[in-house]
Amino acid sequence: MMSKSASPYEPPDTEPSTLTVVLRVLALVAVLYVFLCSIEMLGGAFKLLGKGFAESLVQTTANPFTGLLIGVLATSLVQSSSTVTSLVVGVVAGGGLTIEGAIPMIMGANIGTSITNTIVAMGHMTRAQEFQRAFAGATVHDFFNLFAVAVFLPLQVSTGFLSKLALATQDILLGQSGLQFNSPLKKIVKPTVKFVEHTMVDALPSKGWAFAILVVLSLGLLMFSLHLLVKLMKKILLGRIEVLMHRYVFQHPLRGVLAGTIITILVQSSSVTTSLTVPLLAAGFVTLEQMFPVVLGANVGTTITALLASMVTGSAAALTVALCHVYFNVLAIMVFYPLRAIPIACAKWLGRLTVKSRWYAVAYVAIVFFAIPTALIFLTR
């Protein structure tokens, strides 16, 4: 085991200047504004196509299993559950998806997001013991999400309990008669979005062309802004967060859950939070049992992006979907933290297996995150 003096997680020798910090914060505000505009623009694009298109899209995702797999594959491809959940919220706000159709996609995004820290673990391939610990640490997130979906997706499909719980919360927040709410964020972004929408509709020959351009533009802005958001938050916070995690976070499970939640909210990426723990685990600074609460907290923290996206849409349905995301992750912790020995044992087994042959790790990523979802999407349509 490495000594603490050899740890790569010491604070940097030089701190950025005050001017640099201020400029980064201003850039962060600007990028956040672009992100919010992209969500509103996406919802507006789907409204252009009318009710018929919305009905056909809903029918495509009527099978909850298909919706789940689409969520897994989409998140695996873009390596960001925040992007996918924000996209889903935007489509719901535009009337393109029902609440029931969106919930499986949100669950699938939870599974797909864990690919990033699994890829991070691959960086330790050349060192057997490090790789075993790192891959187990990365895939414990996979197993937790897989088990959570295995429990809660059938319950949601058979009883609708997640959507009912979210709707009840929405009634408390918005009032029994509230079909929409006046979002201050919507008022901030609406002038910019309306200008872009009107420009597209006026300049292009049909609403179909306007829809296509708006979707491409909004998706591009969504992914670009989230990428910059994470990058800026890393520059502002990441060095400090690594030191905090190394020194304080792993000492108590509740502290780990809270830290994982807060760090993920700050950096807007559960993948960043969980990937931070992989080198620590590989180096032997922490155990898989100490890391597990941080993973759980990261799952809760990542829901803030969908909540933020729902607030800007002003759509009660979008808010309901975002609340479902929160409840799914919180309830999964309540169930599987007491049963944590199961996902931890599965992850350790897979870690031992991949040490025997590195190809097991490559095959695991290719099959679980890409091959199986792609094949089953076509088979279940």
Q: What's the DSSP call for residue 11?
A: P
Residue 334 confidence (pLDDT) above 90: yes
pLDDT for 327 beyond 90: yes
What number of other Cβ atoms are within 10 A of residue 322's Cβ? 29
Question: What is the pLDDT, as a whole number, of residue 117?
Answer: 76
Q: Using 50, 70 and 90 to split pLDDT, how confident is the model at 79?
A: low
- pLDDT for the residue numbered 192: 87
Q: What is the CA radius of gyration of the chain?
A: 21
- Summarised one tens digit per residue, pLDDT across range 262-305 is 888 877 677 777 777 777 787 777 789 988 999 899 989 888 88
Tens-place pLDDT, residues 9-18 = 444 455 677 7
Which is more confidently placed, 328 or 276?
328
Share the mean pLDDT of the chain: 79
Q: What are the structure tokens assigned to 345, written together?
A: 């044992």
- For residues 102 and 302, the answer to whether their CB atoms sit within 8 Å is no
Q: Domain map of the chain by residue range?
A: 17-380
Model pLDDT, residue 178: 43
Instruction: Give the model confidence (pLDDT) of 144-202 as tens digits.
Output: 999 999 999 999 999 999 999 998 888 777 654 444 455 566 678 878 888 888 888 77
DSSP string computed for 112-130: HTTHHHHHHHGGGTTSHHH
* CA distances for 91 relative to 56, 87, 152, 183, angstroms: 13, 6, 23, 18
Q: With residue 137 as reference, give the H or E element that holds it.
A: helix 128-159
DSSP designation for 371: I
Q: What are the tens digits of pLDDT across the range 80-116?
A: 677 788 888 888 887 778 888 889 989 988 888 887 7
Q: pLDDT band at residue 39, thresholds of 50, 70 and 90? A: low
What one-character-per-residue DSSP string does 247-290 give? HTGGGSHHHHHHHHHHHHHHHT-HHHHHHHHHHHHHTTSS-HHH
The residues pairing with 315 across neighbouring beta strands, listed in sequence order, are: 180
